[in-house]
Structure 1
Amino acid sequence: MAILDRVGALNVNGFDGSSASLDPRTRELIDRRRRVLGPAYHLMYEKPLELVRGDGVYVYDTKGTRYLDMYNNVASVGHCHPRVVEAVSRQMSLINTHTRYLHDAVIGYAEDLIATFPDELTTAMFTCTGSEANDLALRIARHATGRQGVIVTESAYHGGTVDVAACSPSMGPASVRNAPWVRTVPAPDAYRVDGDLGTWFAEHVQTQIDDLQASGIGFATLLIDSIFASDGVLPEPTPFLKPADDAVHAAGGLLIADEVQPGFGRLGSSMWGFERHGLLPDIVTMGKPMGNGMPIAGLMMQGSLAEQFGRDLRYFNTFGGNPVTIAAAQAVLDVIRDEELVTNSSAMGARLVAGLRGVASEVESIGDVRGAGLFVGVEFVGPGGEPNPAEALRVVNAMRERGVLISATGCFGNTLKIRPPLVIGGEEVDLFVAELAGVLGIG
């Protein structure tokens, strides 16, 4: 679409310094932060927040003001969950070192994690961040195929290392400018694409596979986030990714499922987002919610890939999968099971979408409400159906003033990105819907 200039999805809710109503302490912190951290670090909201405490689905600022966190999927089982805090504290008091020593808890967690995946995915490798996990996945895919080319969606975000940033068009054109091995395809947007979405998407993937092969670069992998979070949260209809998966494997490429955002039960129907599409990825990457705020991430892969990679190349990560972060990850996995958070994600997600669709029925500016579990998008449009990022940004900042935290996403920045902790209950869901209705002038 050429209606509007596309925007960097990571910057659509960034503080730009234009607010004249900041209190002296906030202004001082912003100035100090910029001096020592530089301009590359972005703050959120017109009035940035100084958060000092979290509890469950709420966070608190220095004045004790409470905010309902409907955005931060890092603390997926709730801020400062006592079981995670206790597990980390206990292990920190014993030992924390790298994975070149034997440690039963590291092996036990890997076994437990593997059991949540299809039988063919048998080998885990741990990193500190999702960026590192995706970078390692690219390295494995390129080694296995002997080719370099990567296909991603046109507003994807997959991380911040050199190669992975090049696979993240949402970070801006400078990130992909020197990466002739990257090809992009339009996101499978059911709100705007007529006809069979699976066929439509697969045809675009096949076109880029052919282009990479003809260029001499060769096609190695399709790297895909099954919720298309940075493309505007595109969960439906499922399954629509299987034809693209078939095209990938017919060309001798690999499918990397980036589960950093949709994984660990967030989409409600299962533990992993790719399962909604009936896919068997060659590699699955994980991050963000894995340790509830502790820096742990990793990947799962088919055993034959692991054998080939381990035979030919070496990998070591000093802090990846250390005992303390593993303790956090094990506690998160246990909480997801014990508190039945996948089921809660499904139930609360359905309640949230129903409430939002009720609001949308009374507001012309909302074009679409879509979601899977507790990952929901609300798209704002103009009178002719064109993207309306100004309204989305207004809503984001108005909700922040009402004590509710969300953000915006999509290639035009016109879609609310809603992904609360998995422990959210009906009272908080209803509060969110009521506050949004208030911001939009209804109710």
Structure 2
Amino acid sequence: MQKLQKEETIALRNKHIGKSCQLFFRKDPLKIVRAKGQYMYDEKDDAFLDCINNVAHVGHCHPKVVQAACEQMSVLNTNNRFLHDNIVLCAKKIASTMPDKLKICFFVNSGSEANDLALRLAQIHTGNRDIIALEHAYHGHLTSLIDISHYKFNLPGGVGQKDHVHVASLPDVYRGKYRDTEYKKDEMGTLYANEVKEICDKIKSDTGKGICAFIAESLISCGGQVIPPQNYFKEVYSHVKAAGGICIADEVQVGFGRVGKYWWAFQKYDVEPDIVTMGKPMGNGHPVACVVTTQEIADSFMKTGVEYFNTYGGNPVSCAVANAVINVIEQENLREHALVVGEYLLDSCHILAKKHKCIGDVRGMGLFVGIDIVQDRETRVPDKELAQYAHHRLREEHILISVDGPHNNIIKIKPPMVFTKENVDEVISTLDRAFKEYRHNNEMYSVNSSKQPKATEVSVKDHRPRKALSETQIKSI
């Protein structure tokens, strides 16, 4: 394959790739040419610790996943209208991790396709149209999903809220409508769930019909790494089912053992969804996803007489990859690993919070953690500028994190499942330095000038690029 200089790659991208397809670090984007485990390498062979790539679930380029893809590709790859073992074995594996009633699988190519199909199943089964989603939620890039994703349609240039879409408050106990400063956790769960009941009641009053579905991520990612109160989903599901709707658990971000204790994050809440969607981690970077539902809902879909066909969904290569991913999770005890390292990460973040008042809240489960950066702990005013500074400062130290949430002040950590305690120590110590630097520079500016520093104005010191790992180190990953 032709190799380009970084400047040539940028020039061709600017010429041929849509400007709305944005990059990380837009002013100085990274050019990544290879990856292994939890590390990514640029064109200079410098290594970057990947703290955000929940797509490379079992580690970048895991040899067993790569082998499964190559071996199957060398033999056969075709659509799923031909009988093949890989798809049925994959369905069996996935169903074995689910509640008994969730046993029918539809294979697709992405989390977006999975959520789109879930909505279609719900509409056909219930005969209703109205969808309830959460504030600041994101469920995919298809038109049907942009319509229900407050994270997208509510932007200044967004399409706006459609009549059939209803938005319930994000169940964020730290900076949401109902906060832990005023209520107990169960009280907050009930208050947030009652909003869903009110929406259900209003739909029935206005239309005389029930609702189609309630859809939510089991742990809310784009909304700010939010962990809903323990009783929230159980009460919401009760209200939705009473209104004739079905409940969709979006596990595209947090499924396949990321939370450690469970295969699926919805299991934390002791609920049984009617539909579960999954994607990203299922293929470790390969495009494969799935919708799992009940026999009853699948039968409703079949009775329409409209055949469901997806050219690439469930093809032999994709299912070979998915099977390999599940096998690696089991064989390498990655759920247990996520639990142990995740607890260490949370504990380390809490220790860091004791040193820095800019950390308002730490929340998460397994290898899914958010750090809420604030100007003031009492008012909880978000500090977007400091979060962005930390984001860029860690990149300069060759550590990749991301920042998200309604106020762009949540540092998100959701790395490959092979992340280690040593990796945690490196991230926490580097964040510690970044926060100290930022505070020092702010103090210097407050003494010498009325002007407040921008993240890009703070000089970078002690920049030590991480070079490529040796072959021995790579084999140990």
TM-score (norm 2): 0.85
CA-to-aligned-CA distance 1:128-179 (integer Å, 9 cap, x gap): 0100000000000011111111111111110011111111121243544262
Aligned to 2:174: 191
Aligned to 1:40: 20
Task: After TM superposition, list the pairs within 5 Å mapping 1:177-188 onto structure 2.
Answer: 177=160, 179-188=162-171
Aligned to 2:425: 430
Which one-letter code corresponds to 1:334 in the other structure? Answer: N
Which one-letter code corresponds to 1:211 in the other structure? Answer: K
Aligned to 2:321: 328
Match of 2:147 among 144, 147, 166: 166
Cα distance in 2, alignment partners of residues 175 and 276 from structure 1: 34
CA-to-aligned-CA distance 1:102-142 (integer Å, 9 cap, x gap): 00111111111110101010101000010000000000001
| Pair 1:59-2:40 in alignment | yes
CA-to-aligned-CA distance 1:274-296 (integer Å, 9 cap, x gap): 00011100000000000001100
Note if contact 1:149-1:221 (Cα within 8 Å) is conserved in structure 2: yes
Please state whether the residue corresponding to 2:16 is helix, strand or coil. Answer: helix
**Distance 1:140-1:202 versus aligned 2 partners, 3 A rule:** same
Aligned to 2:457: none
Note if contact 1:257-1:281 (Cα within 8 Å) is conserved in structure 2: yes
**Distance 1:366-1:25 versus aligned 2 partners, 3 A rule:** farther
Aligned to 1:393: 388
Which stretch shifts more, 228-237 or 95-104?
Answer: 228-237
Please state whether the residue corresponding to 1:151 is helix, strand or coil. Answer: strand
Aligned to 2:353: 360
Note if contact 1:209-1:219 (Cα within 8 Å) is conserved in structure 2: yes
Deviation at 1:212, TM superposition (A): 2.9
Deviation at 1:425, TM superposition (A): 1.6
Computed over aligned residues only, the root mean square deviation of the Cα atoms, in angstroms, reads: 1.6
Aligned to 1:89: 70
| Pair 1:99-2:80 in alignment | yes
CA-to-aligned-CA distance 1:385-408 (integer Å, 9 cap, x gap): 111112111111111111111111
| Pair 1:145-2:136 in alignment | no
Aligned to 1:11: none
| Pair 1:382-2:362 in alignment | no
Cα distance in 2, alignment partners of residues 29 and 223 from structure 1: 39
Note if contact 2:189-2:228 (Cα within 8 Å) is conserved in structure 1: no
Larger radius of gyration, structure 1 or 2?
2
Aligned to 1:18: none
Note if contact 1:167-1:176 (Cα within 8 Å) is conserved in structure 2: no
Please state whether the residue corresponding to 1:235 is helix, strand or coil. Answer: coil
Task: After TM superposition, list the pairs within 5 Å mapping 1:231-242 onto structure 2.
Answer: 231-242=223-234
Percent identity over paired residues: 40
RCO (CA 8 Å, sep 6+): is it higher in 1 or 2? 1
Match of 2:363 among 365, 370, 376: 370
**Distance 1:249-1:236 versus aligned 2 partners, 3 A rule:** closer
Note if contact 1:176-1:182 (Cα within 8 Å) is conserved in structure 2: no
Deviation at 1:382, TM superposition (A): 1.2
| Pair 1:306-2:298 in alignment | yes
**Distance 1:212-1:25 versus aligned 2 partners, 3 A rule:** farther
Note if contact 1:158-1:164 (Cα within 8 Å) is conserved in structure 2: yes
Q: How many residues align?
A: 419
Aligned to 1:289: 281
Aligned to 2:472: none
Listed as ranges, the gaps of 5+ residues in structure 1 are 1-23
Cα distance in 2, alignment partners of residues 228 and 301 from structure 1: 21
Task: After TM superposition, list the pairs within 5 Å mapping 1:228-267 onto structure 2.
Answer: 228-267=220-259
Which one-letter code corresponds to 2:326 in the other structure? Answer: L
Please state whether the residue corresponding to 2:436 is helix, strand or coil. Answer: coil
Cα distance in 1, alignment partners of residues 321 and 47 from structure 2: 26
Aligned to 2:219: 227
| Pair 1:338-2:331 in alignment | yes
Which stretch shifts more, 135-144 or 164-173?
Answer: 164-173
Cα distance in 1, alignment partners of residues 174 and 39 from structure 2: 32
Note if contact 1:166-1:175 (Cα within 8 Å) is conserved in structure 2: no
Cα distance in 2, alignment partners of residues 176 and 140 from structure 1: 24
| Pair 1:202-2:197 in alignment | no
| Pair 1:213-2:204 in alignment | yes
Aligned to 1:275: 267
Deviation at 1:236, TM superposition (A): 5.0
Deviation at 1:374, TM superposition (A): 0.2
Deviation at 1:30, TM superposition (A): 3.3
**Distance 1:249-1:305 versus aligned 2 partners, 3 A rule:** same
**Distance 1:27-1:218 versus aligned 2 partners, 3 A rule:** farther
Note if contact 1:181-1:212 (Cα within 8 Å) is conserved in structure 2: no
Please state whether the residue corresponding to 1:370 is helix, strand or coil. Answer: strand
Cα distance in 2, alignment partners of residues 397 and 213 from structure 1: 49
Aligned to 1:440: 435
Note if contact 1:368-1:378 (Cα within 8 Å) is conserved in structure 2: yes
Which one-letter code corresponds to 2:57 in the other structure? Answer: S
Cα distance in 2, alignment partners of residues 31 and 225 from structure 1: 38
Which one-letter code corresponds to 1:268 in the other structure? Answer: G
Which one-letter code corresponds to 1:139 in the other structure? Answer: R
Deviation at 1:230, TM superposition (A): 1.0
Cα distance in 2, alignment partners of residues 88 and 28 from structure 1: 31
Cα distance in 1, alignment partners of residues 195 and 10 from structure 2: 43
Cα distance in 2, alignment partners of residues 74 and 307 from structure 1: 32
